Amino acid sequence: MTSDQWGPATFKARVDEVLHHFVAQEADDFTAIDPALAPVAQQVEAAVAEGKRLRAAFCYWGWRAVGQPDSDALVRAAASMELVHAAAVVHDDLIDDSPLRHGRPTAHTALRDAVARRPDADATARSLAMLVGDLLMSLAGQLFATCGLPAAYLARARPLWSVMARELIAGECLELLRTGEPPDTAVSLKVIRYKTAKYTVEQPLLIGGALAGAGTRLREGYSTYGLPLGEAFQLRDDLLGLFGDPERTGKANIDDVRGRRPTALLAETWRLADAGERDVLCALLGRPDLGGQDLDAVREVMRRLGAPEQIENMIGARVEEALDALHELDVPAHAVTALTALAHSAAVRLS
């Protein structure tokens, strides 16, 4: 990758190499404590096996947009963002009891096989998965601290980690606390902002910028670009969660409806629905025995009311807001090009 061209496939390969090598070594050290830990170590490695590496890319361009050159040490620091994401995903799948991620069993699902002979196999597998997520978050900090950048650079960015963790956990807590309540779009958007938008786009940008010594005005611009784009990313996930192709998304379409999660898609559907349509939704949302025909009934209500189109409009408006903010930033042209491409990658996708 040259100094002024963005090669997303090349960058992803660089991040994958860092992650796979680092996590494989950590998994070996973990298993060396006792061979019985092997199934847990396998899930730590599985957690980083795949991914778009968008969070690492935003961190990288938070650095490059300041005018800093390409750096292998920075790529290692950026890769730590993906370990934060991996930890969040393991915990999120556990909270939601999701069976699939990237078309493969989630950590708590896979670990049931390792403890199948125990009478409390399900609870044990869930506890082990929780610890997998905890370990991944610890490894994120370790990779960041040992990335190879000067200590003074790391010191500028380290305080942002506690902010990122606080906001991410707040978002998860808000989702749990709001689940089952009457759907409300403003509430759903707040959950989106804290659970996903900030740690997906805004905080990686800010951390990359802090590492590079970005000034106050640029950091403010990163937030103005990053927050609406992060919201667009999660709104797209909400749409894909119900209307996407499971072969592409790698997740079950039924999870959000069965869990009655406070998504903006559901909130917009509820806002547009009349009393009869709300009765239909109330009879279906949150049912543990929800089947394919029930899911089709929910989708039909959503389509009839135009809720998916409402979410598409919200996505488009947020991408436009982000790109308008980007073009106000005083950054190199190649950074504008890369961050524009990343905006489209985040918001216009099939998985």
What is the per-residue pLDDT across 188-217, written as a single tens digit (0 to 9) for each? 999 999 999 999 999 999 999 999 999 999
Listing DSSP states for 293-336 in one string gives HHHHHHHHHHHHHTHHHHHHHHHHHHHHHHHHHHTTS---HHHH
- Any bridge partners for residue 100, and if so which? 105
Q: Counting beta carbons within 10 angstroms of the beta carbon of residue 215, is it exposed (0 to 12), middle (13 to 18) or buried (19 or more)?
A: exposed
> What pLDDT, on a 0 to 100 scale, did the predictor assign at position 16?
97
> What pLDDT, on a 0 to 100 scale, did the predictor assign at position 3?
47
The CATH number of residue 41's host domain is 1.10.600.10
- Whole-angstrom Cα distance, residue 75 to residue 61? 10
What mean pLDDT do residues 226-255 have? 89
For 142-188, what is each residue's pLDDT tens digit? 999 999 999 999 999 999 999 999 999 999 999 999 988 889 999 99
What mean pLDDT do residues 227-246 have? 93
Number of H helices, E strands in the chain: 17, 2
- Whole-angstrom Cα distance, residue 56 to residue 24? 19
The answer to whether residue 303 sits within a structural domain is: yes
> Which range in 3-12, 93-102, 214-223 is most confidently predicted, on average pLDDT?
214-223
> What pLDDT, on a 0 to 100 scale, did the predictor assign at position 2?
45
Helix pair 121-145, 72-96: axis angle to 10 deg? 160
What mean pLDDT do residues 68-81 have? 97
Q: Kindly give, in sequence order, each residue whose CB lies less than 8 Å from that of residue 87, ignoring residues fewer than 6 positions away.
A: 47, 133, 134, 136, 137, 140
For 1-19, what is each residue's pLDDT tens digit? 544 446 899 999 999 999 9
Domain extent for 168: 8-347
Q: How many angstroms separate the first and last alpha carbons of the chain?
A: 26
The answer to whether residue 257 sits within a structural domain is: yes
- In one-letter notation, the amino acid at residue 297 is A
The answer to whether residue 311 sits within a structural domain is: yes
> What pLDDT, on a 0 to 100 scale, did the predictor assign at position 186?
96
pLDDT at position 259 over 90: no
pLDDT at position 133 over 70: yes
The answer to whether residue 1 sits within a structural domain is: no
What is the total count of domains within the chain?
1
Q: Which of 310, 318, 312 is nearest to 269 (CA)?
A: 310
The answer to whether residue 81 sits within a structural domain is: yes
> What pLDDT, on a 0 to 100 scale, did the predictor assign at position 256?
80
Q: What's CA 125's distance to the chain center, in Å?
A: 23
Contact yes or no for 95/176 (Cβ under 8 A): yes
- Whole-angstrom Cα distance, residue 127 to residue 28? 21
pLDDT at position 56 over 70: yes
User: Tokens in use for 141?
Assistant: 């900090």
Listing DSSP states for 126-159 in one string gives HHHHHHHHHHHHHHHHHHHHTSSS-HHHHHHHHH
Residues in the chain: 351
The answer to whether residue 2 sits within a structural domain is: no
Per DSSP, helices labelled H in 146-263 are 151-178, 185-192, 203-212, 216-243, 246-249, 255-258
For 278-317, what is each residue's pLDDT tens digit? 999 989 988 888 888 988 999 999 999 999 999 999 999 9
User: Token pair 């489209």 is at which residue?
Assistant: 344
Rounded to two decimals, the pTM is 0.94
The answer to whether residue 3 sits within a structural domain is: no
- Whole-angstrom Cα distance, residue 48 to residue 86? 6
> What pLDDT, on a 0 to 100 scale, did the predictor assign at position 246?
83
